[in-house]
């Protein structure tokens, strides 16, 4: 019976084009963004949708420090942070993260999903009668953490500060309130109106929680994120980030006041009852962050390549969605089946790997490719991508920008 019930659910998923399949890619160390497809002897493919935004997973200093830590400490951490897993590298990493964001303290988790999920659950359970107000497009990890508690929860329209204020004005000043939003939204590539949100939250006595996972390393002084770029980081109560994207390794963290960090460390079950990051991973994260604090080279190349790619896509009439303000370039396809077919053609015919982004990651009718250039992509690869997308769009009669956005305006 149970097998049959689950099989039915899987068939529904497949019939709606929401079923996910994995493409086996073996990245080639030192040759990023190239990767081998499966175990084949074919030429490598070019990866255009990795979250390794700056190629730091390949950086010699990161790899060197990971090797050294592996030889000194072995493979695993040996336990949770409370039971044997707080090796010496952790103190250095958390100090570095706190310094990065100008906060009193930081706390590291095994994943970025876990840092959002565990921290939000903890805060909502420990702050009595706290109402949480969340942006409509917040990440699944944020939604998961919020839904796991019985707290009153409200959702404000994406980046709509008037709607946020309307919601907050319904509650007394003394009622605890937590406002959760992101700096850069990864599917649209847009930026939150951080200054306006902070003005409103201060007016209504709300705690602020800012997810900067798609910004750290790439924006702001020393790569500390969008809030730092705007000179607003000191006004944000809790900054959450990941070490799995621009930092190039894995892990999540929060940076905040000593009291907030200590409360999460002491009460968050998702932190207490999980094994800590291995020493080699921690060492790699620390090496990457320290490099990005000191080097602007990777950031400058990323933004230069993004600008060039945006220009070439525009010249080829490829429909980059106008919401994009950042390194994330969402290319509109608009139909799930064609999005999957186009991705397959790009891979098999052009040697380009792009993952189709379908519902529920994005709304039905806005299926897309989520493209990001890196410092490692060459100008020739950028030109090849633009030409390949044009050929693929024409092959499947996918509307080009001049048609897609003209219809949208009409």
In tens, the pLDDT along 315-353 reads 999 999 999 999 999 999 998 899 999 999 999 999 999
pLDDT at 360 over 90: no
| Average pLDDT over every residue of 105-127 | 98
Least confident of 26-30, 109-113, 253-257, 371-375: 26-30
| Average pLDDT over every residue of 88-94 | 96
**Residue 216's pLDDT band (cuts 50, 70, 90):** very high
Which of the pair, 149 or 406, is modelled with greater confidence?
Answer: 149
HEC string for the chain:
CHHHHHHHHHHHHHHCCCCCCCCCEEECCCCCCEEEECCCCCCCEEECCCCCCCCHHHCHHHHHHHHHHHHHHCCCCCCECCCCCCCHHHHHHHHHHHHHHCCCEEEEECCHHHHHHHHHHHHHHHCCCCEEEEECCCCHHHHHHHHCCCCCEEEECCCCHHHHHHHHCCCCCCCCEEEEEECECCCCCCECCHHHHHHHHHHCCCEEEEECCCCCCCCCHHHCCHHHHCCCHHHCCEEEEECCCCCCCCCEEEEECHHHHHHHHHHCHHHHCCECCCHHHHHHHHHHHHHHHHCCHHHHHHHHHHHHHHHHHHHCCCCECCCCCCCCEEEECCCHHHHHHHHHHHHHHHCEECCEECCCCCCCCCCEEEECCCCCCCHHHHHHHHHHHHHHHHHCCCCCHHHHHHHHHC
- Do the Cβ atoms of 347 and 40 come closer than 8 Å? no
pLDDT at 410 over 60: no
The pLDDT of residue 406: 83
Per-chain mean pLDDT for the chain: 96
| Average pLDDT over every residue of 188-216 | 98
The pLDDT of residue 15: 86
The pLDDT of residue 407: 62
- Do the Cβ atoms of 123 and 261 come closer than 8 Å? no
**Residue 16's pLDDT band (cuts 50, 70, 90):** confident
- Residue 173's nearest CA partner among 150, 202, 133, 132 is 202
The pLDDT of residue 204: 98
262 CB burial (10 A radius; 0-12, 13-18, 19+):
middle
- Do the Cβ atoms of 56 and 297 come closer than 8 Å? no
pLDDT at 41 over 80: no
| Average pLDDT over every residue of 58-70 | 97
pTM of structure: 0.95
The pLDDT of residue 409: 47
CA–CA distance from 271 to each of 34, 123, 251, 254, 255 (Å)? Answer: 35, 13, 12, 12, 15
pLDDT, one tens digit per residue, over 264-306 is: 999 999 999 999 999 999 999 999 999 999 999 999 999 999 9
Residue 315 phi/psi, 5° resolution? -65, -25
| Average pLDDT over every residue of 179-206 | 98
**Residue 17's pLDDT band (cuts 50, 70, 90):** confident
- Do the Cβ atoms of 239 and 227 come closer than 8 Å? yes
| Average pLDDT over every residue of 165-178 | 98
The pLDDT of residue 408: 55
Catalytic residues: 245
């Amino acid at each position: 019976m149970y097998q049959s019930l689950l099989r039915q659910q899987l068939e529904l998923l497949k019939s709606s084009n929401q079923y996910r399949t994995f493409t086996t890619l073996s990245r080639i160390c030192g040759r990023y963004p190239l990767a081998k497809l499966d175990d084949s002897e074919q030429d490598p493919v070019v990866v255009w949708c990795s979250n390794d935004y700056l190629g730091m997973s390949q950086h010699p200093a990161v790899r060197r420090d990971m090797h050294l830590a592996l030889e000194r400490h072995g493979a695993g951490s040996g336990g949770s942070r409370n039971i044997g897993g707080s090796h010496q590298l952790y103190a250095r990493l958390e100090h570095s993260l706190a310094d990065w964001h100008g906060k009193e303290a930081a706390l590291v988790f095994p994943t970025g999903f876990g840092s959002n999920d565990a921290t939000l659950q903890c805060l909502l359970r420990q702050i009595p009668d706290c109402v949480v107000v969340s942006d409509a497009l917040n990440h699944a990890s944020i939604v998961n953490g919020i839904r796991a508690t019985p707290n009153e929860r409200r959702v404000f329209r994406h980046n709509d500060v008037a709607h946020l204020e309307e919601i907050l004005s319904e509650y007394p000043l003394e009622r605890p309130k937590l406002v959760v939003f992101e700096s850069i939204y990864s599917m649209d590539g847009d930026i939150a109106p951080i200054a306006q949100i902070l003005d409103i939250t201060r007016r209504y006595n709300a705690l602020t929680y800012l997810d900067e996972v798609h910004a750290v390393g790439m924006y702001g002084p020393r790569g500390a994120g969008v809030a730092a770029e705007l000179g607003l980081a000191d006004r944000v109560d809790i900054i959450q980030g990941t070490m799995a994207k621009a930092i190039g390794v894995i892990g999540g963290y929060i940076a905040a006041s000593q009291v907030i960090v200590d409360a999460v460390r002491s009460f968050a079950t998702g932190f207490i009852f999980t094994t800590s990051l291995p020493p080699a991973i921690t060492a790699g994260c620390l090496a990457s962050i320290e490099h990005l604090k000191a080097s602007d080279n990777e950031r400058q190349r990323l933004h230069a390549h993004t600008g060039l790619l945006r220009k070439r896509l525009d010249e080829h009439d490829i429909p980059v969605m106008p919401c994009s303000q950042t390194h994330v370039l969402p290319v509109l396809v608009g139909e799930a089946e064609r999005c999957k077919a186009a991705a397959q053609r790009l891979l098999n015919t052009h040697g380009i790997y792009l993952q189709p982004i379908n519902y529920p990651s994005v709304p039905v009718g806005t299926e897309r490719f989520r493209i990001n250039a890196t410092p490692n992509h060459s100008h020739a690869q950028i030109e090849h991508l633009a030409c390949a997308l044009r050929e693929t769009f024409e092959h499947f009669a996918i509307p080009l920008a001049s048609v897609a956005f003209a219809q949208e305006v009409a």
